[in-house]
Structure 1
Amino acid sequence: MLVSNFLFGAIATATLGYGRSMPSSPCPPPLVYLFTVYATESPLVIIGNGGHGSRLFIPITGGTVTGPKLQGKVLGLGGDWGSYDTANKTFAPNAQIVVETNDGANILITGHGKSPYINYEFETGSESYWWLNQAIGVGIIQVGEASLTADIFQVLQCKA
């Protein structure tokens, strides 16, 4: 018992930082604005309720990306396989789009969450945008008539 308590304490200190004094309140991570996606959509396809809410598919047909960290166009290669919870009136996006930057890089953007708040992950083989592979994004979407707008921010490490 003494050995297991010692090992747990050593592992917790080494991996979780429990050896540090605890702050009086946590430091909120700062956000940095990356870009805004303006996407066009085709009419949605209703798949129906298969046990996860009312499943639907929204084809993404194009659009643009503008912002301080990224500029380009949305390729018509993606869509949103989201579900709508009719009881709570919430939409849970499950979207993937491909952005082609103005300098020729391709970036896969994946978004999940509960509308209007979305979590984003990025994937690219481009050296210029490699930093996005480690980035976590958060954003807010606004749905329009046959379009959506997503303001996307990068979550940075807190510097307490």
Structure 2
Amino acid sequence: MTFTPSLTFAFEIRAEVAEPLHIGHGDGERTEFTPITGGSVHGPRLQGTVLAGGGDWSSTRGEICGLEARYLIRADDGAVIDIVNRGYFHAGGDSGDQYDGTLKVAEAGYYFRTSPVFRTDAPAHRWLAETVFVGLAREEDGDIVIRIYSVG
């Protein structure tokens, strides 16, 4: 028996977003809300659309941006799936790049990872609520693209 996890690509979420709304500043922290306006889900395990109405709350302290997005997916079979996706975005790697305070930066040299949790009672999609996932994210053409992998 091995204790090394494996990752299997499940699907990709492409979330369309509006301009961030500034909420406030607190003791060295900037808080914003980014509305999610739609999008798509494509992959070997799930196909569907991202429903408008969700959003991402972010809190930035220094160069570390903590993210918490909550939104709904409608699978191609009509099932509605709730997702809460928490993660972090910050400069990293050996590129020497510095975080510029936005998500609109080059992918190289940045750490943009999430830990999505799904809820649904749809029998065909119950596996989502019973599996641990990690997401590797990037900004692309104004959308947030997250490749979702199941942890085995």
- What's the TM-score, normalizing by structure 1? 0.76
Task: Report the TM-score, using the length of structure 2 for normalisation.
Answer: 0.79
Decide whether the 8 Å contact of 1:43 with 1:146 is kept in 2: no
The aligned residue for residue 101 of structure 1 is 75
State the distance in 2 between where 1:103 and 1:80 align.
26
Tell me how large the CA RMSD over aligned residues is.
Answer: 1.7
The CA deviation at 1:32 is: 1.1
**Aligned-residue offset at 1:50:** 3.0
- Contact between 1:61 and 1:75, CA under 8 Å: does it hold in 2? yes
**Bigger proportion of residues as strand:** 2
Unmatched 5+ residue regions in structure 1?
A: 1-22
Aligned residue runs from structure 1 range 65-144, under 5 A:
65-85=41-61, 87=62, 89-115=63-89, 116-144=112-140
- The separation in 2 between residues aligned to 1:31 and 1:78, in whole angstroms, is 27
Alignment length (residue pairs) = 130
Question: Highest Rg: 1 or 2?
Answer: 1
Deviations 1:71-115 (A, max 9, x none): 000000210011122x2x222110011000111111111111212
Distance in 1, matches of 2:136 and 2:28, equals 23
Identity %: 32
Seen in structure 2, the aligned counterparts of structure 1 residues 91 and 144 have a Cα distance that, compared at 3 Å, is: farther
